[in-house]
Structure 1
Amino acid sequence: MTALQVDTLCKSFGGVRAVDEVSFTLGETELLALIGPNGAGKSTCFNMLNGQIRPDVGTIRLFGRDITGTPPRAVWRLGVGRTFQITATFGSMTVMENVQVALLSHHRRLRALIPYAGALYRDEAMALLDLVGMADQAARACGTLAYGDLKRLELAVALANEPRVLLMDEPTAGMAPQERVQLMRLTADIVRDKGVSVLFTEHDMDVVFGHADRVMVLDRGRLVAEGTPSEVRANAEVQQIYLGSGALYGAEASA
């Protein structure tokens, strides 16, 4: 079954076509990478998928339902989680409280029982923190966390609405190499164990080729290549985009 279907998505800013007739599908329990150089249109594409930007042209379907132009909060309630290039957490709150806020929203109790909010959904929050390896830091203020820990916390927050689709915009940006591997292994486990479909952007090619089931390549707003990691790695046009010539991570240009 198709989790996400995108057809001829377009978005322009002034005279610049940031996303140009992009079409693709995300399968159930698939880990799909969207890569490309800076300015290729990856974040603009993501922002249309979760409703932050309305496309000029094109349709977005979530499990067959047209969600084109649906506001972000409504998209979230339909089962789409999102992480960002720059972490979006409440620095003055504790790790636990950040997850509790997301759970309060998920359960539609964000405005109810505010004086008692700290006592609500603690077990659910702790379970999510345990899932991402942050349970032992539940009482720490977010403002004191290392950046890699903030990335893991943001993943826990993104999972609070029990998403069927998870959009991860450069999930390992700013992390140490070992932390990157650990986070993507965790993401792959979530795909397998919880049945979540994941679309992620990434600049680290080791992360992409080591974990993605399938890879798409954007360049100047257009989708120029798509396939398995080995197929994309051996694609001459992709090699030209990234390196100017030669091989990309060991794949010969003539392959």
Structure 2
Amino acid sequence: MSLLEVRNLSKHFGGNKAVDQVNFDIQEGELLALIGPNGAGKTTTFNMVGGQLPASSGSVKLMGKELVRMAPRKIAHMGVGRTFQIAATFASLTVVENVQMALLSHEKKIYSFFSTASTQYRDRALALLAQVGMDEQADRPCSELAYGDVKRVELAMGLANEPKLLLMDEPTAGMAPKERNDLMALTKRLVIERNMAVLFTEHSMDVVFAYADRMLVLARGQIIAEGGAEDIRNHPKVQEVYFGTGKTFEKNAEKV
């Protein structure tokens, strides 16, 4: 059985079929990219998997348990982590306090952040920060960090609930090329070390081709192609959707 099974997932806004009968699986230890041109239905699909958007129909099962119509908080407690296109950290708190907040939320003790509970979870927070290379900056305010480092802190927060599946919404948005590659190399390492799965949306094709184990290409709400980098790069329908007939992906293209 796959870790995540998505079957006939659809979202309709009136007469508009934003997502129409989407099917895919994710295995443990897999980094799966969900790509497509603007308006393809990527974000809608992504948000239905995470519970931020209710599906019109279809099924999303994590280890056989149905997630559709489940609240995002309950989905998180089942082992689904999340990072956002715009990093969701508290700028006024320190790096370690941000991760402590995520741990306290996971343990349902968010009300006691300023009690002894915050001390109790400091070691766990530091351990997570060590995994993303941010433990030496643990006591710096997030407001002082470079953007690439903020995204690392957010990644540590996303790992606080020990996710089996991590959802990453355009994780490298706004980052320089080196920062993009550093973050995705780190993510790839964590996927292997933790044997978790990652589903991510992304516009930077250099990142997708370099780090995704497999790709799903959406267009007009439907999956038009699935496979590895070479399969997708040479797929005639993908070329047509992105660039028009006859053009191909560039291996080192930074943006689509």
Same fold (TM over 0.5): yes
Within-5 A mapping of 1:35-184: 35-112=35-112, 114-184=114-184
CA RMSD of aligned residues (A): 1.5
Give the letter aligned to residue 20 of structure 1. D
Instruction: In structure 2, list runs of 5 or more residues that go unmatched.
Output: 252-256
- Deviation string for 1:200-238 (max 9, x for gaps)? 111111111111111100112111111111111110111
User: Identity across aligned pairs (percent)?
Assistant: 54
Instruction: In structure 1, list runs of 5 or more residues that go unmatched.
Output: 251-255
What TM-score does the superposition give when structure 1 sets the normalisation length?
0.94
Structure 2 counterpart SS, 1:46: helix
Is the Cα–Cα contact under 8 Å of residues 80 and 167 in structure 2 kept in the other structure? yes
Give the letter aligned to residue 78 of structure 2. L
d(CA) in 2 for partners of 1:14, 1:95: 43
Is the Cα–Cα contact under 8 Å of residues 83 and 167 in structure 1 kept in the other structure? yes
- The reply to whether residue 200 of structure 1 matches residue 195 of structure 2 is no
Give the letter aligned to residue 57 of structure 2. V
Give the letter aligned to residue 97 of structure 1. E
Is the Cα–Cα contact under 8 Å of residues 100 and 120 in structure 1 kept in the other structure? no
Deviation at 1:15, TM superposition (A): 3.1
Is the Cα–Cα contact under 8 Å of residues 84 and 168 in structure 1 kept in the other structure? yes
Deviation at 1:10, TM superposition (A): 0.7
What TM-score does the superposition give when structure 2 sets the normalisation length?
0.94
d(CA) in 2 for partners of 1:113, 1:84: 23
d(CA) in 2 for partners of 1:144, 1:44: 33
Structure 1 counterpart SS, 2:23: strand
Counterpart in 1 of 2:250? 249
Deviation at 1:11, TM superposition (A): 0.8
d(CA) in 2 for partners of 1:141, 1:38: 35
Q: Comparing 70-79 with 236-245, which one deviates more in the overlay?
A: 236-245
Deviation at 1:109, TM superposition (A): 2.1
d(CA) in 1 for partners of 2:187, 2:113: 33
Counterpart in 2 of 1:2? 2
d(CA) in 2 for partners of 1:113, 1:95: 14
d(CA) in 1 for partners of 2:59, 2:5: 8
- Paired residues, number: 251
d(CA) in 1 for partners of 2:119, 2:8: 46
d(CA) in 1 for partners of 2:2, 2:89: 31
d(CA) in 1 for partners of 2:173, 2:196: 22
Runs of 4+ in 1 over 3 A off after TM superposition: none
d(CA) in 2 for partners of 1:224, 1:54: 23
- Deviation string for 1:69-91 (max 9, x for gaps)? 11000000000001111111112
Structure 1 counterpart SS, 2:240: helix
d(CA) in 1 for partners of 2:202, 2:132: 19
Q: Comparing 126-135 with 112-121, which one deviates more in the overlay?
A: 112-121
Give the letter aligned to residue 103 of structure 2. L
Structure 1 counterpart SS, 2:54: coil
Deviation at 1:165, TM superposition (A): 0.5
